[in-house]
Structure 1
Amino acid sequence: MIRNQLAEIACFVEVAHRLSFAQAAVRLGMHVSGVSRAVAALESRLGVRLLQRTTRQVGLTEAGRTHLARCEGLLAEIAEAEAAASASGGALRGRLRASIPSGLGLAHLTPRIGEFVAAHPELELDLHLSNRNVDLVEEAFDVAIRVGELRDSRLVARRLGDSRRVLVASAAYLATAGQPRRPADLERHACLVLDVGAIADRWELRRRRRRETLRVPPRVRSNNALALLDACRAGAGIALLPQFVVAGDLADGRLVRVLDAWTAIEQGIFAIYPGNRFIPAKVRAFVAFVEHCVRDVGGGARPPKRSTRR
C-alpha cells in the first residue's frame, strides 16, 4: 500500500512540475494512462481535485498547490535518506549533467577538470559549455552555473562568488587609437561586444555612485568571451569582458585596463538547481569544485550563502 501511495505522489509531482501528463510519463518511463490513473487514485483517496484538466492544458488547483509543496518535501526527505545511505558506501557514482557558461568554463574549469574526475573516478561528467540559459527541468540538467541576474522562480540558487566586467585593450591598440578619458569617448573607438543580454552593445558603467549608459559601435561582436579576448589581444579594439576571463592577461601585461575607475555593474556567479529537490552528493561535490575554481577570479568571492528560491 505504501509503495502505491508513493508512486501516486511521484506521478502527481512530476505532472505538476511539467503541467503535462505526456511529459511526466516520458520522465517516469510510464504510459500516459498509467500516470493518469495514479493521479486519479490519489485524488480519489484524498477526496479533492489536485489538477485542473482540459483538452489543451493542465493546471494546479489551490489544493493541488498546497499538496504539491508537502509532497515535494516528502520525496526530498526520501531522496536525502537514500543519498546519505549511498554516500556512506564511499565513491560518488552515476551521471552528472552540468551546464556552464563557455567563458567561465574554458578559462577556469576545464583546465582543472582532471582534478575532479580523478577524485571521483566512478562519476560520469556530462559538461555543456554554452551561454544559453538551459531549462534544467525540461533538459534534465542536474545543475547549471550562471553569471548575471536570475529570473526563473522555479529554481534554487546558491551564490558562489562575484563577477564584474572591466574595460581592456592591448597597448598597441591604445598607442594607435588613443586612451579614452571618459566613458563617452568609447563611442569613437572600435568596441568588441560580448553578445549576451537583451542589448549587448549598451554598456552600463559605474564609478562609485556615478552611472553612465552608452551605446557603443561594435567592431567585433561574439557570444564567446574567449573569441573577443583573442581579438582584443590582437589589437582589434576595446572590450568589456568579465574579470575572470582577462585576469591572466592583465597580470602578465598582454592587456591593460581602460578607464580603470569604471566597471560594469557587479553580477553574481551562481549554482542553479531545479526547485524543491534534494541536492545529491555528486552535485554538491561538483559545486564545491566550481566554487574553488572561481574563488577570487571575479574580484573576490563572497562567503557562501544558503540556497534561496529564485
Structure 2
Amino acid sequence: MRGRRRKDKDGNIRLPVLADFSSIEVFVAIMETRSISKAASRLNTAPSVVSHRLTTLESLAQVKLFNRTTRIVSPTEAAERLYRHCIEIIHRIDAAEQELWGANAVLSGDLRIAAPVYFGMQSIAPILPIFIRRYPGLNVSLQLSAQAANLISEGIDLAIRFQGKVDIKNGDRMILENERVFCASPRYLEEHGTPQVPLDLQNHDCICSSTPVPFANWSYREKGVAGVIRVLPMMQSDNVLVMIEATRQGLGIAQLGRRVIEPFLASGDLVTVLDAYAPDPNYLIATAPDSNYMPQKAIAFVDFLVEHLAKPRGVG
C-alpha cells in the first residue's frame, strides 16, 4: 500500500503516516498488547524491528504515540484516536477480501482464541486439529484461563465464554445452550440424605465456584418461577475439574453443566438431584473485540464449533 507524498502545514514534503499496511499492523499490535516484545511476538519479528517501525511512525506523524518505560508502553491521546481509524482500515480490508473471494477465500494469519480451562480441554482440544487441517493457512493459538480475557490488551481475536444471556446487540454469537443441574455422589447422599427442595441445600455441604464473599447464591426454578438460595460453600474453586472431582469423591453437592458430568452420570459416580428445580441454562457464546464486526477467520471457527458441539444438552 503506497501513498502519495503530501505537504504538511508548513509546506514541507513528507510521507503519509501510514505508508504501508505493515505500519498499521505494528501500531495495532503495540496498542493491543501494550508491549514492544509482545507485539513483536504476535507479528513474528524482532522487538528491535517493532521499535524501529514505531520510531519511524512517530517521526512521520510528528507526534508522540506512546509513553515508553522499560516495562510499560502506554498510548497517548493521539494514539487512541489513530487506533480507531486503523481498526476500521483492517476491518474494511478484511471485508473487501471476503466480498472479493467469498466462500473461496483462503483464511490466513493469526487466530488467537480464549476459552475456559476445562471446556477448552474437554471440548475444543479434541477437535482443534480438525479445524487446523481444514484451514492450514491459519496460525491458531488457544489460550485457556479461568479468567475472562481482556480482548484488546491481550490481542485476542475471539473469546468463548459462558454467560447468563445472549446479547446480540453486543456482538454475541451463541454456540449452544448450557443445561445446568444439581449433582452429588451416591456416597454423599447415603451419608447426608437427598435434598427434596432447594431450601434443604442450606443444610448440606456445597461445592461452589469461587466467590468474593463467604456465601454463594445458587439459582433454581420452581414451576416456572426463578428463585435463589444462599448456601455456604464447604469448598470453592475456579476450576470445574476440581469441583467435579470433589463432588465425585463425596464432599458435597455441586451445580454444574450436564454435559461436563455426563461421563460420571453414565458410570454412576454422580447422580442429579432436585431435577424439578433445575436452574435456568446459561449460554456458550463467542465474542470479538469489536462488537460490530467479527473477522471471517473468527466466524469460521464459531461455525466449526456449532457444527461439532451444538447439541440439545449443554456444555458446562
- TM-score over 0.5 for the alignment? yes
Structure 1 CA distance for aligned equivalents of residues 86 and 109 of structure 2: 25
Please name the residue that 1:224 is paired with: 239
Where in structure 1 are there 5+ consecutive unaligned residues? 301-310
Cα distance change on mapping 1:93 and 1:58 into 2, 3 Å: closer
| Structure 1 residue 33 displacement after superposition | 8.8
Aligned positions of 1:1-310 closer than 5 A: 2=3, 4=16, 6-7=18-19, 10=24, 14=28, 35=54, 38=57, 72-82=87-97, 92-148=107-163, 156-195=171-210, 198-199=212-213, 201-207=215-221, 208-218=224-234, 220-275=235-290, 279-296=294-311, 298-299=313-314
| Structure 1 residue 184 displacement after superposition | 2.1
For 2:204, give the aligned amino acid: H
Say how many residue pairs are matched. 287
Cα distance change on mapping 1:290 and 1:88 into 2, 3 Å: closer
CA-atom RMSD, angstroms? 4.2
Structure 1 CA distance for aligned equivalents of residues 233 and 263 of structure 2: 26
Asked whether the 8 Å contact 2:162–2:283 carries over to 1, the reply is: yes
Cα distance change on mapping 1:20 and 1:248 into 2, 3 Å: closer
SS at match of 2:118: helix
SS at match of 2:311: coil
Where in structure 2 are there 5+ consecutive unaligned residues? 5-15, 68-72
TM-score (norm 2): 0.69
Structure 2 CA distance for aligned equivalents of residues 230 and 20 of structure 1: 38
Cα distance change on mapping 1:288 and 1:179 into 2, 3 Å: same
Asked whether the 8 Å contact 2:30–2:39 carries over to 1, the reply is: no
TM-score (norm 1): 0.70
Structure 1 CA distance for aligned equivalents of residues 243 and 75 of structure 2: 45
Cα distance change on mapping 1:126 and 1:20 into 2, 3 Å: closer
Structure 1 CA distance for aligned equivalents of residues 50 and 77 of structure 2: 21
For 2:218, give the aligned amino acid: E
Structure 2 CA distance for aligned equivalents of residues 194 and 123 of structure 1: 35
Cα distance change on mapping 1:277 and 1:183 into 2, 3 Å: closer
| Structure 1 residue 76 displacement after superposition | 1.1
Query: Which structure is higher in RCO with an 8 Å CA cutoff and minimum separation 6?
Result: 1
Cα distance change on mapping 1:122 and 1:11 into 2, 3 Å: closer
Asked whether the 8 Å contact 1:11–1:24 carries over to 2, the reply is: no
